[in-house]
Amino acid sequence: MKSDNVKTGMQQAPHRSLFNALGYTKEELERPLVGVVCSYNEIVPGHMNLDKIADAVKMGIAMAGGTPIMFPAIAVCDGIAMGHIGMKYSLVTRDLIADSTEAMALAHQFDALVMIPNCDKNVPGLLMAAARINVPTIFVSGGPMLAGRVKGQKRSLSSMFEAVGSYAAGTMSEEDVCEFENKVCPTCGSCSGMYTANSMNCLTEVLGMGLRGNGTIPAVYSERIRLAKHAGMQVMELLKKNIRPRDIMTKEAILNALTVDMALGCSTNSMLHLPAIAHEIGMDFEIDFANGISEKTPNLCHLAPAGPTYMEDLNEAGGVYAVMNELNKKGLLHTECLTVTGKTVGENIEGCLNKNPEVIRPIDNPYTATGGLAVLKGNLAPDGSVVKRSAVVEEMLVHEGPARVFECEEDAITAIKSGEIHPGDVVVIRYVGPKGGPGMPEMLNPTSAIAGMGLGSSVALITDGRFSGASRGASIGHVSPEAAVCGPIALVEEGDIIKINIPNLSLNVDVPDEIMEERKAKWQPREPEVTTGYLARYAAMVTSGNRGAVLEIQK
């Protein structure tokens, strides 16, 4: 066992003395040491129940003959971090989580790992770590929040952000906003729509790294405690069979995840995280893969913010496996991929029925014949940009209008809420990419303000930053190259006509090439906003959004 390096032999007597100090018995040290990586904290609603999940996991490990040992992973709540300097620290925690987990797992020589994440960056960060460490590993998340109910309708966090915009537009009273505030987030768990946390937890099932229901069983259901116990037991089976993350997270598994992503209508952030996970297994992930897969993959689900259904509804309808079974009717999945069940994808999803065709459309009656995400290219985004096509109203799929250019999110929000943005406009927010942010902050406040002001079907937003999974509308992010490295988005001027054609996968600015070259010759880089600490180091090493914003030593 790997843990023999810290517990067996005369040279390890000092190590054993330290285990003795921890209260471990000889009998416990004779068993495999299983790291339980738990991101429990008291600031993230999706994580407040993870102590219960960890206790259940530890019980399952012990029942199956292992010795569970817990250590923490950090987590940022994107909602609480939204709209201020905290949002610069959201995406960057993905790499902190991966790095620190790698350090803990290898420093202490664990034989196996159980990862307990829940929210946006924890899931991909721990998947990246799992691929690096490559000891038998299984995932069990904290589960999604139940939807709130306001005036008889299901609601979620995106409704809350949009309510603030409606208040600014004068269409909602302060009392109405207060009612939303008290009701939209009624329980612990990852926010109840198909936002980034739930997208990544669902894709963990698809990748084969979590048991059935990991992405959809609500946080407050006792069924999730049982799932956690089974995850603890199952990691011991993985250890016996020496099934490791890189046996499971193959190129084909990544493509499966991208396929199901299209069917579910996942967050655009998955187009940052899947490339980063692929990078850890040595796969060269081009975001153009998305369009080829989207072309043949129907969109089967319209969960919030794209539609009126929520994670609890997806769970009742059969969950992720039911969606995968629908896709498999047209042979769209690599069913031979191995999973943490010890079985293949095909064996796992066999007989998993779609119990509600209103929540999961049958394969022959999809919302659209193409998938939920699209990658747009053109002279404004030569290396690509990403849009959640399934959350764009039909009249905005093709749009052109004058650019309204902002150098930061705050200025854009002020203009939107003060009525300076008009139907037909294209809001451009730049210098908020991975380097320029730094940290590629989410633009949920501007998109919510646009929707709340009643402009969601007439105004587009383009940025080199990214969007929350709670964003909807013609919101095009990850524009690459970003403004901070003189990407074309840095050269757009107020009033330039921007042309968006989502069906044709194009994003262009109607300015002659020679004019763009003249502007480029005059361009000067902006002074970095942050020059010290982790964000400065991150900005120096991070790659562009089209590469998943992975960290590399710059040559």
Active site residues: 468
Q: Based on the number of CB atoms within 10 Å of its own CB, is 238 exposed (0-12), middle (13-18) or buried (19 or more)?
A: buried
| Packing angle, helices 50-63 and 222-241, rounded to 10 | 40
In the block, residue with structure tokens 């022959």 = 364
User: Distance between CA 19 and CA 6 in Å, rounded?
Assistant: 9
Cβ partners under 8 Å of residue 416, min gap 6: 165, 427, 446, 449, 450, 453, 455
Report which secondary-structure segment, H or E, holds 168: helix 157-168
121 annotated binding-site participant: yes
The answer to the question of whether 494 is labelled as a binding residue is no
Spatial distance between the Cα atoms of 553 and 555, rounded to a whole number of angstroms = 6
Strand bridging mode 426-429 / 398-406: parallel
State both tokens at 296.
């043949």
Residue 442 known to bind ligand: yes
In this structure, the strands spanning 381-388 and 373-378 are: antiparallel
- Vertex 395: Cα angle to 177 and 448 (nearest 5): 25
How far from 469 is each of 48, 190, 199, 265, CA to CA, in Å? 21, 12, 8, 10
CB 3, CB 107: distance < 8 Å: no
> For residues 301 and 314, is the Cβ–Cβ distance under 8 A?
yes
Separation of alpha carbons 152 and 143, rounded Å: 24
Tell me if 425 is assigned to a ligand binding site: no
Q: How far apart are the first and last CA of the chain?
A: 39
Are 121 and 91 in contact by the 8 Å Cβ rule? The answer is yes
Return the amino acid letter for 285. F
For residue 161, the 8-state DSSP code is: H
Contact residues for 362 (Cβ-Cβ < 8 A; gap 6+) = 300, 326, 354
Q: Which residues are annotated as a binding site for Mg(2+)?
A: 78, 120-121, 442
Q: Which residues are annotated as a binding site?
A: 78, 120-121, 442
